[in-house]
Amino acid sequence: MEYEVVRDCFNNCITVCNMENFDPLGIHTGESIVVAPSQTLSNSEYHTLRKLSIKIIRNIGIIGECNVQFAVDPNSEDYRVIEVNARLSRSSALASKATGYPLAFIAAKLALGYGLHQLKNAVTKTTSAFFEPALDYIVCKIPRWDLNKFIGVSKEIGSSMKSVGEVMAIGRTFEEVIQKGLRMVGQGMHGFVGNRT
């Protein structure tokens, strides 16, 4: 699970987006299929991890944007913090596109000393940057590889990132976005079903 969090110099914090990695722990998040918002967290788990993300960014003292990654046990509410990235990443770009919240722009303004309450969302032009986006749709990111260009490269995914890009699909259900994503990834697939071998 990942949370994109922003904090200003006045200690105001919001979570912009939470995302769920489709692949298990041990697969680099750049290699993973990602769904936003998360689909398997309970309400309790979602709010626990949200609260922890905000606590982490405040305790570290990050001003700007931060990505917090968790490993969550699907059979309990046990979790571990895997990574805290105090920078924009591929996940941040996905969160920005998925929510319409301009993370790079806001992070730059916060680094200059502005507060979230002083900034407008440059995309909506009406809401404040202090406004936490809410999604009534689902977004899915699927990575793309071009391993044929590199002779001898292992085609197994793991903890190092080999993907050269990604596709993003938007829809109303998980089934819709995963089907759209698989069609767009450029491998000649029609989705999970209807593929000719």
pLDDT tens track for 61-99: 999 999 999 999 888 889 999 999 888 887 888 889 899
Cα–Cα distance, 23 to 161 (Å, whole number): 13
pTM beyond cutoff 0.75: yes
Reported as a pLDDT band with limits 50, 70 and 90, residue 194 is low
The residues near 151 (Cβ < 8 Å, ≥ 6 apart) are none
Cα–Cα distance, 193 to 102 (Å, whole number): 36
Q: Count of CB atoms within 10 A of residue 114's CB?
A: 16
Cα–Cα distance, 44 to 63 (Å, whole number): 27
